C-alpha cells in the first residue's frame, strides 16, 4: 500500500505527506496520554518571542555561553519509538498548504473511495494516527483519522489516502 498522501485542491501549495518519517517529528504526540491530558493552546509566535526575549536577556546579563555539541543534540528514545502509539495534529500541514480564501471544507478519502468532509477550521484540529505499538499502519493505513477529543480512538477512520481542500 502506498504511504504517501497529498493535500491538494483549493490550496496555494500542493503538499505531499509521508507518515513513515513522522516518528522523528518533534510535533508527534503520544496517543496513550494525549487525549487524557489537559492541554493549553499556545500561540507559536508568542512562544517564539518569549523564548527569544529570554535568550537575549540572558546573553546581555551573562554573556554568550556555547554549549557542547553533544548536549544540544536532539536525542530520540529508541524504546519509546519501538513501542509507542503516535499521532500528529493536522493543523501545521494544512497551514503549509495555505488554503485559498474561498476554501471551506476538507475532504478525506479512504482506500475504497469513501469521503469524510469537515469544515476547514474543524479539520485543522484533527489528529493523524500513524503508528500503533511502534509499528506503522501498513495494513489499514497509512494513517487513521482521529477526532480532536479522541472520541473515535477505539474506532478511527482508517485507510486515509487522500486529502482534498474545497
| Position 69 in a domain | no
| Position 65 in a domain | no
β-partners of residue 107 are 117, 164
Full domain range(s) for residue 126:
5-38+74-165
Band of residue 118 on the pLDDT scale cut at 50, 70, 90:
very high
Check residues 153 and 69 and name the one with the higher pLDDT.
153
What is the number of structural domains in the chain? Answer: 1
Q: What is the pLDDT of residue 67?
A: 57
| Position 151 in a domain | yes
Average pLDDT of span 49-67:
69
Give the pairing type, strands 157-165 and 105-110. antiparallel
| Position 131 in a domain | yes
| Position 67 in a domain | no
CATH number at residue 109: 3.90.420.10
User: Is the peptide bond preceding residue 142 cis, with omega within 30 degrees of 0?
Assistant: yes
pLDDT in tens, 80-103: 666 788 999 999 999 999 999 999
| Position 127 in a domain | yes
Find which of 2-11, 52-61, 66-75 is predicted with most confidence, using mean pLDDT.
Answer: 2-11
pTM comes to 0.75
pLDDT higher than 50, residue 70: no
Query: Exposed, middle or buried: residue 43 (CB in 10 Å: 0-12, 13-18, 19+)?
Result: exposed
CA dist list (Å): 46 to 9, 51, 52, 53, 59: 31, 9, 10, 10, 20
β-partners of residue 118 are 106
| Position 146 in a domain | yes
pLDDT higher than 50, residue 2: yes
pLDDT higher than 90, residue 6: yes
Q: What is the pLDDT of residue 90?
A: 95
Amino acid at each position: 500500500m502506498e504511504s504517501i498522501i497529498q493535500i491538494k485542491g483549493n490550496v496555494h501549495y500542493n503538499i505531499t505527506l509521508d507518515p513513515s518519517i513522522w516518528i522523528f517529528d518533534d510535533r508527534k504526540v503520544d496517543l496513550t496520554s494525549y487525549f487524557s491530558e489537559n492541554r493549553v493552546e499556545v500561540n507559536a509566535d508568542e512562544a517564539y518571542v518569549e523564548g527569544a526575549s529570554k535568550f537575549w536577556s540572558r546573553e546581555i546579563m551573562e554573556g554568550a555561553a556555547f554549549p557542547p555539541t553533544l548536549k544540544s543534540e536532539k536525542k530520540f528514545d529508541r524504546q519509546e519509538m519501538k513501542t509507542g502509539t503516535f499521532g500528529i495534529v493536522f493543523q501545521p500541514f494544512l497551514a503549509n498548504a495555505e488554503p485559498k480564501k474561498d476554501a471551506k471544507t476538507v475532504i478525506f478519502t479512504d482506500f475504497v473511495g469513501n469521503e469524510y468532509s469537515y469544515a476547514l477550521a474543524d479539520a485543522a484540529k484533527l489528529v493523524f494516527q500513524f503508528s500503533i505499538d511502534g509499528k506503522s499502519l501498513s495494513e489499514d493505513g497509512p494513517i487513521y483519522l482521529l477526532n480532536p477529543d479522541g472520541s473515535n480512538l477505539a474506532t478511527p477512520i482508517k485507510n486515509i489516502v487522500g486529502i482534498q481542500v474545497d
